[in-house]
Amino acid sequence: MTEKERTLAIIKPDAVKRQLAGTILSRIERAGFRIIGLKLVRLSKERAENFYAVHRSKPFFASLTEFMSSGPIIVMALQGKRVIDDYRSFIGSTDPAQAGYGTIRRDYGTSIERNVVHGSDSPENGLREVRFFFEEHECLGDE
Ligand code: UDP
Ligand code: MG
């Protein structure tokens, strides 16, 4: 288990509203990521502020948390060796205009804020962010 990481993947409100959830989910599966938990949720402004607490002092914090609580999101727990880096490469840089060709953010993102997906940035944050949304019994085991 030690080498297995977890990442929290989110399909953000812009993508759910634009009915891109199925397409993005399908691309995640086709890329070979293992989904061990999945649900649709709606964040309150307060819960979005809590999730992005590390960005509290940033100029984009108010707008980001308004956006993230503006509609339903799909949260997923992905598990695997090196899933943190692999998934971040798969989604691309924060700013869709800077993201590599063929990445999710490049293909569907419309601004640095509305960049359609989230991915955890370290193994520690991956575990913490998965726990933010999932009880252990809501996730698949190691079978
Ligand atoms: N964000 C923004 N403006 C910025 C930087 C980030 O609106 O200048 C938003 C964007 O939605 C991003 C989220 O805040 O995904 C979290 O920012 P972070 O720097 O952690 O980027 P990420 O890890 O999501 O690539
Ligand atoms: Mg981040």
Per-residue pLDDT of the chain in tens (143 residues, 90 and over written 9): 458 999 999 999 999 999 999 999 999 999 999 999 999 999 999 999 999 999 999 999 999 999 999 999 999 999 999 999 999 999 999 999 999 999 999 999 999 999 999 999 999 999 999 999 999 999 998 76
Question: Could you give the domains of the chain?
Answer: 6-42+74-138 (3.30.70.141)
pTM recorded for the entire structure: 0.97
Cα-to-centroid distance, 139 and ligand 2 (Å): 23
Ligand with minimal distance to 110 CA? 1
d(CA 116, CA 105): 6
Does ligand 1 come within 6 angstroms of the Cβ of 113?
Answer: yes
Cα-to-centroid distance, 143 and ligand 2 (Å): 30
Ligand with minimal distance to 93 CA? 1
DSSP string across 5-72: EEEEEEE-HHHHHTT-HHHHHHHHHHTT--EEEEEEE---HHHHHHHTGGGTTSTTHHHHHHHHTSS-
Q: Give the position of tokens 């370290």.
A: 122
Does ligand 1 come within 6 angstroms of the Cβ of 35?
Answer: no
Cα-to-centroid distance, 49 and ligand 2 (Å): 14
DSSP assigned state of 122: S
45-55: pLDDT as tens digits: 999 999 999 99
Catalytic site positions: 118
d(CA 125, CA 25): 22
